Amino acid sequence: MPDALTAPKLQGSAAAAVLLMLFDEDEAAEILSRLEPDEVRQLGYAMYDVADVEIDEVNEALDHFVNKAKKRTTIGYGASQHIRGAMTKALGQDRADNMLARITPPTRSNKLAVLKWLEAKEIAALIEAEHPQIMAIVLAHLDHPVAAEVLQLLPAEFQEEVIYRVATLGPVSTDALDDLEQLLMRGSPSSKPGNSSQRGGTLEAAAIMNNVRKENEVRIIKALAKRDKIIAQSIEEEMFVFDNLIDMDEKNLGALMRTIDNDVLVVALKGANDMLKGRIFGCMSARAASSIADELAERGPMRLADVIEAQKLIIATARKMAEAGTIMLSGKGNDFV
């Protein structure tokens, strides 16, 4: 790692900004068009900051870029096209298509990409007069923190309805997404058949709810439970999972562990990461922790279904204790439930 004397003065976004300023407008525009909104915003700030950069710093930034470029290969450039071409020549079109369908990594839908360039307030303003189903589709295509912010900017009477529709959202045709994108850009939507894209579901709804303020979360979940207990329960289960126990403080986690049968805890810990195991062991006496650790080491392979069931039992116990006021489950920020 370079020390303070050898490290270049300009690094990261500052060095990138210097390089971008050396290109003409068209070349810089070509680069910027390939970046994400946050990257463009960060580079924009950096470009103003380096407007008065010294020539020595520019040379250092260029040297830094050249050194990094020398260490990179071009093997990943056009990889998808190369792989498809080789597979097609080797297997024929039909067999290659079948094989690629099974092995090609999934990619996130690029539909509604216009949303990434808008602030939460702008998105909320665009959809607040639309049908709740459109609101749900839009939220399902946003990053979860942004979706949560948009949800909270929508009228309160729609929030529970929108989360319910996110949780129960089925495949949405790509052409319908195109129409919705046109609508958001104030274009003229058209209707035609096409392929579909699967977004939404209780996992997506839970991820959005995990970014909602606690008072809004409680209100929305209560309203959902009145409408559909199964959906509400599924969302809650996705919101607080076994790995979230690591966020509890030592006092509350210790109180929870004292109510759990050792056999259940051993099975549940079989699927836990080392950090969570250490956190749980740290809430026990040295003797109890050693006993659990020894039994865990002696146990052979366990069925995944049994591990998940044991973890769900512990989470259910935690929820009951929290509802009774016996413990507190760490929430977002300084919130507790």
Whether 115 and 140 have beta carbons less than 8 Å apart is answered as no
Task: Give per-residue pLDDT as tens, 2-36.
Answer: 444 444 566 677 777 777 777 777 777 777 777 77
Please give the C-alpha separations between residue 136 and each of 80, 141, 301, in angstroms, as whole numbers.
33, 9, 42
pLDDT per residue over 199-223, tens digit each?
A: 678 878 888 887 888 788 889 989 9
- Residue 106, domain member (yes or no): no
**219/117 same-domain check:** yes
Q: What is the biggest distance separating any 2 CA atoms in the chain, rounded to whole angstroms?
A: 70
- Check residue 217 and give its pLDDT: 85
Whether residue 204 lies inside any domain: the answer is yes
Can you give the pLDDT at residue 255? 92
Compute the average pLDDT of residues 294-316: 85
* 250 and 300 housed in the same domain: yes
Q: How far apart are CA 137 and CA 184, in angstroms?
A: 12
**Which of the pair, 52 or 150, is modelled with greater confidence?**
150
What residues form DSSP beta bridges with 330?
336
Cα-trace Rg, the chain: 26
Under the banding of pLDDT at 50, 70 and 90, the label for residue 117 is confident
Looking at residue 73, its pLDDT comes to 60
Whether residues 126 and 221 share a domain: the answer is yes
219 and 248 in a single domain? The answer is no
For residues 240 and 197, the model is more confident at: 240
Q: Is 257 part of a structural domain of the chain?
A: yes
**Confidence at residue 204, expressed as pLDDT on a 0 to 100 scale:** 82
Whether residue 53 lies inside any domain: the answer is yes
3-state secondary structure of 30: helix
- Answer whether residue 125 shows pLDDT above 50: yes
Q: Tokens for 97, please give them.
A: 């298509």
The answer on 247 and 214 residing in a single domain is: no
pLDDT tens, residue by residue, 227-259: 998 898 888 777 777 888 888 888 999 999 999
Residue with tokens 């010294």: 54
% of the chain residues with pLDDT over 90: 13
Predicted pLDDT of residue 51: 67
d(C-alpha 160, C-alpha 167), whole Å:
11
Q: What is the DSSP string of 257-324?
A: HTTS-HHHHHHHHTTS-HHHHHHHHTTS-HHHHHHHHHHHHH-----HHHHHHHHHHHHHHHHHHHHT
CA distance 221 to 315: 17
Element at 230 (helix H, strand E): helix 229-239
Residue 227 has phi, psi (to 5 degrees) of: -80, -45
What's the rounded mean pLDDT across residues 164-193?
Answer: 70
C-alpha triplet 77, 80, 82: angle, nearest 5°: 80
Write down which residue in 226, 261, 292 finishes a domain: 226
Q: Within this chain, do residues 274 and 216 fall inside the same structural domain, yes or no?
A: no
pLDDT at 4: 42
Q: Are both 203 and 293 inside the same structural domain? A: no
DSSP, res 336: B
pTM: 0.47
Residue 177 forms part of a structural domain? yes
- Looking at the structure, do residues 155 and 193 belong to the same domain, yes or no? yes
116-120, 182-186, 199-203, 290-294: which is most confident = 290-294
Which DSSP string do the residues of 138-172 spell out, in sequence order? Answer: HHHTS-HHHHHHHHHHS-HHHHHHHHHHHHT---E
What would the two tokens of residue 164 be?
């319910």
What share of the chain has pLDDT > 70, as a percent?
A: 80
**Domain range for 53:** 12-70
Residue 136 lies in a domain: yes
189 and 120 belong to one structural domain: yes
Has residue 79 been placed in a domain? no
The mean per-residue pLDDT over the stretch 135-143 comes to 88
Average pLDDT over residues 133-154: 89
The count of other CB atoms within 10 Å of the CB of residue 311 is: 22
CA–CA gap between residue 166 and residue 327 (Å, rounded):
31
* Dist CA 302 CA 114 (whole Å): 47
**How big is the CA angle at 62 (ends 61 and 67), to the nearest 5 degrees?**
100
The Cα–Cα gap between 337 and 325 comes to 9
Q: Which residues pair with 197 in a beta bridge?
A: 172
Type of residue found at 133:
Q
Q: 259 and 157: one domain?
A: no
pLDDT for the residue numbered 72 = 63
Domain boundary among 197, 226, 255: 226
Residues 139 and 215 both lie in one domain: yes
What pLDDT, on a 0 to 100 scale, did the predictor assign at position 94? 75
Q: Residue 140: which CATH number?
A: 1.10.220.30
- For residue 124, being part of any structural domain is answered with yes
Angle at 43 between CA 55 and CA 147, to 5 degrees: 170
Q: To the nearest 10°, report the CA torsion of 227, 229, 232, 237.
A: 180
Q: What is the mean pLDDT of residues 90-99?
A: 75
Same domain, 132 and 214: yes
Average pLDDT estimate for 291-301: 86
What pLDDT, on a 0 to 100 scale, did the predictor assign at position 196?
A: 53
Domains in the chain, number: 3
